[in-house]
Structure 1
């Protein structure tokens, strides 16, 4: 049978199952199983069993539950409120004033949580009431939070980078290092936009508050020391080559428990809830990865990835044209699927094309995550939008409009990554030389 007809049938089947509300992991397994049964003579049951088992004990996955648990512990701590008090005195003089605290707080919390949704909920819980009380423009408050919280996907330790590393079989430690400069680039883009916007909309920014004496500002900054110390321990140990991603994750969990204990928020209830939350999330992600691994193997038996790569290759697209087409594809998928699902659904088909085009897989992982970040703030399935809608009682359209400028900034960041790939590859290259 024509490979294009086979792939079309399987894609339609997948979309129908997803539309019916079937779990993503089960959808992947069903499509993979039927693909082997209908279009291959291989033993589908045996392949499913061995693939899922092989995927479930992958050493690379051991970092996943630890980083998720670290984020769950910190989510229940006083870390976000300490960050607000520490950052506010220094960022208030900038054009846009305390709106920058949203961005900086999201960047810092992303560096210890690894989750965009957790970053949105945790930082929003602190900054929305504070900025609203100070009469900051509601659309600006929501927009900066929605856009900046996407940094949880990119700035290490990122859960989605772990998922990509497992799916693409590349070094998770190098992916973490590669995400640092693009993450800082996005922070600067967001803060630059806020400064320019505030300069043209001075009437929507409240008057400056009394300037805090220098030593009081220094004293307030003490609240930043714990989180910066944790970031240095986790990411610094990886960059220095003294710890793998899994070992750094264990250090992060211990550090998060100590910080939570010192802040007085660690008790049996919070500990139990953090373990339960991390277990639920880990099980969900691991099951999806197992389904994706099986689908990838099944696609290999049907020959779809090879034929699709040949079909795309027949168009003789340049790297730029291929990346442009993939960007549009991922943006459209992001309107209906979450980031992890996009990675696992496309890995088996996209990776052969990417490798055939000679694109560095470490760079592609960062590019992919930046594009997928857009899915967090695009309706109708933008997770950040739903979280902010529930926190602010605003309608989804209002929240989506507030986040739209940051969607455009993410598009600009994607273009910059394509034009200047060294933004993502420079630090990993230094790590390799070392």
Structure 2
């Protein structure tokens, strides 16, 4: 793609990076075949190629975002399926992130929209506040019919019951059972510690049982992905800095072989810390080191030897979260681990298409998210699975709201199959 950025604009490292990304695009349109929003709307501006044109025009002319650009960029899920499809290796993720930051800084949203986005960016990354908000949402559900459509959609996703806070989610060290093979830090996450504590508990049991010492580092928390995808760069970077500092302290004191993440959206973000802070002289080195150590839990499990115990050979529909298969390019490891544990794993038709969760997408773009969930559930139910496995809490909540088939995290099945607890969803 030909560009005409001014030299003054290209002096900004973020603008220079976006210009490089834009120039890589050859307008081929392969991305339109796998873009979820384009499949639903058939609107060119709801495809990566269309959004690239809008972003180019906005950034190249140095203008504030207009309503049309904000509308179509907001409708992007950041599923990154286009990056898997693109033959020219266009790094759409960094381009859309820059566009969102520019829109956040220059576009005048309505008061209600701006307030809602600010509340989500502030509440969701803070587990205590999020837990309080979920209790309030459960109490408000009987009055949902009196609320605006967007708030009704948000209330419908709030669980009726919440787990009690787990002891696993406080800073501590879980010693390895038997001879220690490695020492890792676990990112407990933010929303996950409020919505489903069983995932971290199963992860700790699974890893320690197989000779891995697990550290929950003091000061680590939200990865920053939630505010980042809302264009709130400063808030996202503040969360990321705290994690980098916390894990750097662990590296320098006890040492770390890996930083393990069991929420794939968080993993995509942490693996991008090196890029995020590439221009920060004080933090660039540590950020790059953290990104290099980050791995999805399925990547670590792939390196471990384990023996299964006698559990039923269930037919498992594996849902590949977009942030895992497109963002991190991890496709083989989760399926291989489930098969090694003795489960029958079946592929889901249209497995490359997003379920509609995408961080806060199902809260802010509920109409499109509901259509994508219906499409995903229909595909899952077509394979007659007994259980659904996924590697991302957001996907689990989104899909679980549309089907009666039990859905669990991949580590819950692996924990059970190697001597741990049977997942509550299968009770």
TM (normalized to structure 2)? Answer: 0.30
Question: Which structure has the larger Rg?
Answer: 1
Kindly indicate which of the two structures has a greater share of residues assigned to strand: 2
Kindly indicate which of the two structures has a greater share of residues assigned to helix: 1
